[in-house]
Amino acid sequence: MFISNAYAASAAPAPDWTSFLPLVVIAVLFYFMLIRPQMKQAKEQRAMLEGLQKGDEVATAGGIVGKVVKLNDSFVSLEITPETTINVQRHAIQTLLPKGTLKSL
């Protein structure tokens, strides 16, 4: 008398496309706001590294600024002062500077 009868729940309704719509929208936004810009930036960086030439002025990821003296497949020789040359890995070069930047420093 004090305990009520327990009845089985009805079957769950089949999911429809509207329940997946927020996930699809989030995935599209994620692609256009994060993935696509990073791929574009990586492509520009790769093109800049492939287009390096002797005499270009560059800045490394560590903040060293210098002029490209010699290029190899994986290393670049930078002249940071008139008689000081260092070797850095090619992927450490972060920015190609405009000509004459070193003279203005």
Q: Please check whether residues 43 and 69 belong to one and the same domain.
A: no
pTM of the model: 0.71
Query: Based on the domain organization, do 57 and 87 belong to the same domain?
Result: yes
CATH number at residue 93: 2.30.30
> Is there a single domain that holds both residue 72 and residue 100?
yes
The answer to whether residues 35 and 70 belong to one domain is no
pLDDT tens string 1-51? 678 887 877 777 767 777 888 999 999 999 999 999 999 999 999 999 999
Question: What digits encode the pLDDT tens for the residues 85-99?
Answer: 999 999 999 999 999
Q: Which two tokens stand for residue 98?
A: 């405009």
Average pLDDT, the chain: 91
Q: Which three-class secondary structure state does DSSP give residue 43?
A: helix
pLDDT-based confidence at 57, cuts 50/70/90? very high
For the chain, report the end-to-end CA distance as a whole number of angstroms: 93
Contact in structure between 66 and 57 (CB atoms under 8 Å): yes
103 and 72 co-located in one domain: yes
